[in-house]
């Protein structure tokens, strides 16, 4: 399954949520997310543009591998994810396989959904707290072109132009806000 997503900066969450609720969206998550990314000492995972992440979302823990999918203009990743029972034990297993933690991210997330589309408002803490809250629009799909159209269609319904939909990673957010 492919994760197709964009980030939208500088949104007025209250106004967007009002529109989402009018469209029939439902809030399905509000809470803290803690994500730790791992790589081998030679950085082979990052050098291949992959991400190996262990994450807690609320009271659940997930191990996720994200692989790149070539598509300029929008962020598409193959996402392989499974729920694991214990963050600490899984972290120990990864470290015993010579994987090293290279990033530790904490954020607050508020999530809404419409059929087949997620709208997530993220605010980073600690090391990345200088990044203002932003919104992600995400679709999980096998058909990338259909997912892209769906994202842009929903963005437009929220008053967001296609040019405001950015295919950025956390690294690109950091570069953007550090250079302001």
Q: Could you report the per-residue pLDDT of 138-149, keeping only the tens digit for each? A: 999 888 889 999
Q: What pLDDT, on a 0 to 100 scale, did the predictor assign at position 71?
A: 72
Which tens digits make up the pLDDT trace of 48-83?
999 999 999 999 999 999 998 877 678 999 999 999
Q: Are strands 75-84 and 51-57 parallel, antiparallel or unpaired?
A: unpaired
Give pTM, 2 decimals. Answer: 0.93
Q: In the chain, how many domains are there? A: 1
Q: What pLDDT, on a 0 to 100 scale, did the predictor assign at position 103?
A: 98
Q: What is the mean pLDDT of residues 12-22?
A: 98
pLDDT level of residue 169 (50, 70, 90 thresholds): very high
Map tokens 């999980």 to a residue. 140
Map tokens 């589309």 to a residue. 117
The Cα-based distances of 132 to 11, 142, 176 in angstroms read 10, 31, 11
> CATH code at 93?
2.40.320.10
Residue 73 is classified by DSSP as: T
The Cα-based distances of 149 to 102, 137, 154 in angstroms read 34, 12, 9
Q: What pLDDT, on a 0 to 100 scale, did the predictor assign at position 73?
A: 76
| 171: containing domain | 2-178
Alpha helices in the chain (DSSP H): 13-22, 44-47, 87-96, 144-157, 170-178
Q: What pLDDT, on a 0 to 100 scale, did the predictor assign at position 112?
A: 99
Q: What is the mean pLDDT of residues 78-98?
A: 97
């Amino acid at each position: 399954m492919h994760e197709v997503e964009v980030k939208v900066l500088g949104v007025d969450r209250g106004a967007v949520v009002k529109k989402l609720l009018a469209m029939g969206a439902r809030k399905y998550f509000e809470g803290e997310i803690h994500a730790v990314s791992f790589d081998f000492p030679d950085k082979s995972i990052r050098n291949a543009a992959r991400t190996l992440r262990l994450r807690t979302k609320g009271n659940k823990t997930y191990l996720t591998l994200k692989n790149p999918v070539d598509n300029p203009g929008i962020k598409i990743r193959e996402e392989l994810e499974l729920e694991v029972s214990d963050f600490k034990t899984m972290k120990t297993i990864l470290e015993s396989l010579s994987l090293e933690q290279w990033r530790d991210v904490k954020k607050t997330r508020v999530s809404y959904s419409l059929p087949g589309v997620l709208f997530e408002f993220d605010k980073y803490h600690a090391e990345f707290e200088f990044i203002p809250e932003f919104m992600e629009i995400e679709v999980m799909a096998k058909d990338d072109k259909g997912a892209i159209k769906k994202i842009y269609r929903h963005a437009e319904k929220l008053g967001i132009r296609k040019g405001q939909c950015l295919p950025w990673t956390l690294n690109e957010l950091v570069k953007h806000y550090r250079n302001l």
